[in-house]
Structure 1
Amino acid sequence: MRATSKMLKPKSSHCPQLGPFQLMSSPLRRGSLWLYSSSISEGERCAVWRSAGNIFILTLTGPGEHRLNPTLLDAISAALSRVRAESSMSFALITTAEGKFFSNGYDLAWASASGVFLDRSKLMSSKLRSLVADLISLPMPTIAAISGHCSAAAAIIALSHDYVLMRNDRGFIYMPELDIGIKIPDWWFVALIRSKIGAPRSQRELMLRAAKLTAHDALNWGIIDSAHNSTEETVRAAIRLGEELVGRKWDGHVYAQIRMRMLADVFDKVGCDESVGEVSHTRTRL
């Protein structure tokens, strides 16, 4: 499984007209640069635009589930590396997706395909840890615009952003470990959940009830920052928030240093080589 990626010369007139890019207001769309594109599978890509308003928009394109396998995780990490390289002043990052799914979590079909499930699961876990470390250390504010179902490892990616916005008309946040028989040791994402979701009742609802939370539920439980009526409204709200944050003209490296100090427990743990836990194969769906 190999991603085909390319760094594209900034030519705003040749930007592909993909969902969230079309939702950008005219001033933002004018002068926007298509910076990065990586082919994940037929009809699906990981792409990044830089708007005239100094907002990077990282989008998982296509109608699929955006399952997190090494190909997609590597593509997102490469996109963040390009974003980091371009961030010479005050910027913000928005991460979103097209279709019904923000992401449906790990690609368990890929992990199970060759009979080495545990090894492949450890590989995905290692790449996810690196991706979370990249987000925590990124020198700019980060915003997740959840556009559909957001399950398991995808929820961890969303929560690794500074702000989480979600559409209210479709989709849910779901941590399915209880439902699919995965034992979670005291590994790094437990520290992340504790850092991002303060109320023990909210942690219990998400982790110990495997509740499928709509945006309305997640907002009430303090898991997300705002809920919106459609993908379009969610992305527009993320852009408005990004513009506000960029307008503060903060030093991105100072911002990242403060974030890393605030999430020091998480940042320290993502560098550890931890087990992914024992997995029952009675059910392999998310």
Structure 2
Amino acid sequence: MCTLEKHGDIFYLTLTGDGEHRLNPDLITTLGAALADVKSRAARGSVLITKAEGNFFSNGFDLKYAKAAGSPEAAADRLHQMVDMFRPIVADLISLPMPTIAAVTGHAAAAGLMLAMSHDYVTMRSDKGVLYMSELDIGLPLPDYFTALIGSKVTSLAARRALVLKASKLKAAEALGLGLIDSAHANAEETVKAAVQIAETLSKRRWEGKNYAVIRKSLLPEACTVLKVTETPVRPSRL
């Protein structure tokens, strides 16, 4: 599942255990509750780091859970349920009133990659793990908010092709070259350490969180439109 800890100004949201951190209804619900807790305790200087234990950051939606429903129709219903449940998680992350950093300490595939990309910054380990949009390989369409998030975040046509139309399994060096991540690091420990360094630097700026969220959303108009995330004007606190 996941845990939430706070040390100083930094929140640490950790996907726990050595599994694949597949996004099933239980994990999605737990993530939503954790993000609500983070938002309720947000203050000037707050920063969120999301990381994971084991060799996976998240391997996407829990297709085994979907198939366990029995018939193809029932399996499709379960998959659609997970797609609908995950939508508010992405909306919450791009609305969170603080900087956010994903420390990709293992494979991030499909919805798991969208979880990482919903953050402002992404650090990634080089020794293990890939970024992988698997939908083309497994014969599934992209949900509309996946497409919108990729369109808002991935500005390079070459990067979009590699990620979506080639279904490439991108290692950290390739992902860095395509601008999909902010930095690559030797192992999981160094990846988290780099995320903490970013968080500590940003925390010192003591920005007003609501204004940070408004400005972030203004940079992601396509994703905000599809996710129905609206901007709330913020009165200047100082001139």
Correspondence for 1:77? 32
Q: Is the 8 A contact 2:153 2:220 kept in 1?
A: no
More helix as a share of residues = 2
Residue 271 of structure 1 and its aligned partner are, at CA, apart by: 3.8
Correspondence for 2:125? 167
Any idea what the Cα deviations from partners look like across 1:129-160, whole Å, max 9, x if unmatched?
10000001100000000000110001011011
Residue 183 of structure 1 and its aligned partner are, at CA, apart by: 2.6
Q: Report the Cα distance in structure 1 between the residues aligned to 2:43 and 2:107, rounded to whole angstroms.
A: 34
Q: Report the Cα distance in structure 2 between the residues aligned to 1:95 and 1:159, rounded to whole angstroms.
A: 11
Matched, 1:247 2:239: no
Q: Is the 8 A contact 2:151 2:222 kept in 1?
A: no
Structure 1: which amino acid aligns with 2:32? S
Give the SS at the match of 1:50. strand
Corresponding residue to 2:10 among 28, 47, 55: 55
Q: Report the Cα distance in structure 1 between the residues aligned to 2:92 and 2:210, rounded to whole angstroms.
A: 13
Q: Report the Cα distance in structure 1 between the residues aligned to 2:121 and 2:194, rounded to whole angstroms.
A: 11
Corresponding residue to 1:97 among 38, 44, 52: 52
Give the SS at the match of 1:59. strand
Structure 1: which amino acid aligns with 2:10? I
**Structure having greater relative contact order (Cα 8 Å, sep ≥ 6):** 2
Give the SS at the match of 1:71. helix
4+ runs of 1 displaced by more than 6 Å?
A: none
Q: Report the Cα distance in structure 2 between the residues aligned to 1:110 and 1:154, rounded to whole angstroms.
A: 16
Q: Is the 8 A contact 1:129 1:271 kept in 2?
A: no
Correspondence for 1:121? 79
Query: What's the TM-score, normalizing by structure 2?
Result: 0.92
Q: Is the 8 A contact 2:102 2:122 kept in 1?
A: yes
Q: Report the Cα distance in structure 1 between the residues aligned to 2:90 and 2:226, rounded to whole angstroms.
A: 11
Give the SS at the match of 2:60. coil
Q: Report the Cα distance in structure 2 between the residues aligned to 1:267 and 1:47, rounded to whole angstroms.
A: 27
Give the SS at the match of 2:217. helix
Residue 252 of structure 1 and its aligned partner are, at CA, apart by: 0.5
Residue 92 of structure 1 and its aligned partner are, at CA, apart by: 0.4
Query: What's the TM-score, normalizing by structure 1?
Result: 0.77
Corresponding residue to 2:63 among 108, 123, 134: 108
Structure 2: which amino acid aligns with 1:202? A
Residue 229 of structure 1 and its aligned partner are, at CA, apart by: 0.4
Task: Please list every run of 5 or more consecutive structure 1 residues that lacks an aligned counterpart in the other structure.
Answer: 1-44, 273-286
Give the SS at the match of 1:184. coil
Q: Is the 8 A contact 2:11 2:46 kept in 1?
A: yes
Correspondence for 1:157? 115
Residue 118 of structure 1 and its aligned partner are, at CA, apart by: 1.7
Any idea what the Cα deviations from partners look like across 1:77-124, whole Å, max 9, x if unmatched?
100000111113220000000001001110001011113112111111
Q: Is the 8 A contact 1:46 1:58 kept in 2?
A: yes
Cα RMSD after superposing both structures:
1.2
